[in-house]
């Protein structure tokens, strides 16, 4: 029988083995509470979309609320425009061209609604550069060189791929899509009407020919012709045969 000390050692080794296996099965811990993290290191994918992430990773800040952004960016009115209630995530980092902020909304609709507000804010403040890239709303604060700020924004890539079950509705503009859909509907309606008229004419022609052929066969089988239509008439012409009891 094994001694108590040997049993304790085996138990410790077994527990350590379980911890190692569990750690290997979960390589990326979601300590950021992000909706999408990297499987290799547990860092939010949004942070890795920062330009030159490997060089500024120590200065990057991930946020799920405005309070986490203000220590880095300061108390700015533009930050209060961000609605974090529906799973919005943001990341910021300082660069030579300014302080970059990338905001990712949970839906394209929310991103489009915020786009108008950010555009107005950037138009009213020359120290802010802004652009919407994919589903990202990208801002650069404390801009001194507009060209450098725009070059920094150019490095932001929205790399998420969307697979549509049918045709991509955003492949063309909304106005062109509306015109094309209206034209398709009009042509389909015309085709249906013409097909209905053609079927009606063809059906009428076939029915007329069949009816004419039946009438001709019936008339050919008659020994004498009368236009009385089966009514009682005078036999003045002598062609109607006598009817015997």
DSSP states along 107-123:
SHHHHHHHHHHHHHHHH
> Which residues lie closer than 8 Å to 62 by C-beta, 6 or more apart?
32, 34, 44, 46, 47, 68, 89, 90, 91
pTM value is 0.54
Is the confidence at residue 25, as pLDDT, over 50? no
Structure token digits, residue 53:
């992430």
- Quote the pLDDT of residue 12: 59
Dist CA 45 CA 50 (whole Å): 9
At residue 221, the pLDDT reads 80
> Which residue has tokens 């652009």?
131
Least confident of 25-34, 42-51, 205-214: 25-34
The 10s digit of each residue's pLDDT in 188-233 is 999 999 999 999 999 999 999 999 999 888 878 876 655 656 566 6
Residue 204: count other Cβ atoms within 10 Å of its Cβ: 10
**pLDDT for res 190:** 94
pLDDT, tens only, 60-96: 999 889 998 999 899 999 999 998 887 899 999 999 9
The pLDDT value given to residue 147: 93
Mean pLDDT of the chain: 80
Tell me what the mean pLDDT of segment 165-193 comes to.
Answer: 80
Tell me which residue of 152, 132, 133, 156 sits closest to 141, measured CA to CA: 152
3-state secondary structure of 181: helix
- Asked whether 83 and 31 are in contact (CB, 8 A), the reply is no
């Amino acid at each position: 029988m094994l001694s108590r000390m040997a049993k304790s050692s085996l138990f410790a080794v077994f527990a350590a083995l379980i911890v190692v296996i569990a750690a290997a099965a979960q390589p990326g811990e979601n300590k950021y509470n992000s909706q999408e993290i990297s499987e290799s290191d547990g860092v939010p994918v949004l942070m890795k979309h920062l330009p030159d992430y490997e060089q500024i990773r120590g200065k990057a800040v991930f946020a799920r609320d405005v309070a986490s952004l203000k220590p880095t960016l300061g108390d700015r009115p533009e930050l209060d425009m961000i609605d974090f209630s529906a799973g919005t995530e943001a990341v910021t980092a300082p660069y030579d061209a300014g302080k970059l902020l990338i905001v990712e909304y949970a839906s394209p609709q929310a991103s489009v609604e915020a786009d108008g507000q950010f555009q107005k804010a950037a138009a009213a403040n020359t120290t802010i550069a802004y652009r919407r890239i994919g589903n990202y709303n990208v801002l650069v604060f404390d801009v001194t060189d507009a060209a450098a700020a725009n070059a920094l924004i150019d490095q932001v890539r929205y790399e998420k791929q969307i697979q549509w079950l049918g045709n991509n509705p955003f492949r063309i503009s909304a106005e062109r899509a509306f015109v094309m859909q209206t034209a398709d509907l009009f042509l389909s309606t015309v085709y249906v009407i013409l097909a209905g008229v053609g079927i009606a004419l063809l059906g009428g022609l076939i029915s007329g020919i069949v009816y004419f052929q039946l009438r001709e066969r019936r008339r050919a089988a008659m020994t004498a012709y009368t236009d009385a239509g089966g009514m009682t008439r005078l036999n003045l012409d002598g062609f109607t045969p006598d009817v015997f009891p």
